[in-house]
Copies of this chain bind each other. A is one copy, B any other.
Amino acid sequence: MWSDHIKYHFPMRTHQLVLSWIENELSEGRLTVGGRLPAERTLAEQLKVSRTSVREAIRILEAMGVVRAGVGSGPEAGTVVISDPTAALGSALRLHVATQHLPVADIVETRVLLESWAASKARPDAPELDAAGALLAEMAVDGLAVDDFLALDVRFHLALADAAGNAVVSAMMGSLRESIQRYASQLTSNLPDWEATASRLKAEHREILAAIRNDDGEGAAKLVAAHIEGYYQEAGLGPA
């Protein structure tokens, strides 16, 4: 419960009461993804708290990727339960990278760990590999802008992670990429020759995908590790 985790305040503040109530509704299955929260006013009356407290709780849930706040009126209005753990973890990691508590080198090392594990576990017939193959075709187009290349690159790596079938690893892996997105984009300017790097990355992507398709999990894991570490080394981060 939230009360266990936000320990600095006692007694529980009213917005935490709202968070606890919503978390409990989710746990009990009374609120599910796609469902709607009660209206702000209703929730405030029911829990005997101010509408400000309800609003604060909803803002937190939004930042955590648990709800999408409603706008306007009609069937699309209201606050809808969603499930976007990657965004939630990504925001949290990004903020802590900003406080310099989480070093970028540790982020890269964790990426290698999660992605090489995923490559070793990905099933050769996973449908996500078709999506990964289609992304490689998009990346093969000549003259792609750097940021467009990087966006496709993120999606390719995520598709491989998804093929391993572990939603937590996928969410964590996506969040790591998200947390250093700005940094990754800056890194490319350190590269001596972007076109040469892009060609190499594309060749490595094809090899990784081929290894997974051939059921060579161990080989795929090594290729992924070398692919990620090689990139950051070339961009000047040094050995991960």
Complex CA gap A107/B172 in Å reads: 11
| A85 CB contact (under 8 Å) in B8, B61, B88, B92 | B92
Complex CA gap A89/B90 in Å reads: 9
Contact indicator per residue, chain A 6-37, by CB within 8 Å of chain B (1) or not (0)? 10110000010000000100110100110000
Is A131 on the interface with B (CB-CB < 8 A)? Answer: no
B167 near A95: Cβ-Cβ < 8 Å: no
A47: which B residues are within 8 A, CB to CB? none
Complex CA gap A95/B85 in Å reads: 9
Given A60-B63, A106-B166, the answer on whether A4 and B96 have CB atoms closer than 8 Å is no
Given A87-B5, A92-B85, A93-B89, the answer on whether A98 and B27 have CB atoms closer than 8 Å is yes
Contact indicator per residue, chain A 104-133, by CB within 8 Å of chain B (1) or not (0)? 001101100110010000000000000000
The complex is assembled from copies of this chain, and their number is 2
A90: which B residues are within 8 A, CB to CB? 5
Q: How many residues of A contact B (CB 8 A)?
A: 64
Is A144 on the interface with B (CB-CB < 8 A)? Answer: no
Is A65 on the interface with B (CB-CB < 8 A)? Answer: yes
Closest to A8 in B: B68
A107: which B residues are within 8 A, CB to CB? 168
Can you list 10 A-B contacts with CB-CB less than 8 angstroms, sorted by A residue number? A26-B99, A33-B100, A52-B52, A83-B96, A89-B92, A101-B167, A102-B171, A110-B172, A113-B114, A168-B176
List 3 tightest A-B contacts by C-beta distance, closest first: A88-B92, A83-B101, A26-B98
Given contact pairs A60-B60, A106-B168, A109-B168, enumerate 13 new A-B contacts (beta carbons under 8 Å): A5-B87, A5-B90, A5-B94, A6-B63, A26-B98, A27-B98, A29-B100, A56-B56, A65-B96, A81-B99, A85-B101, A93-B168, A110-B168
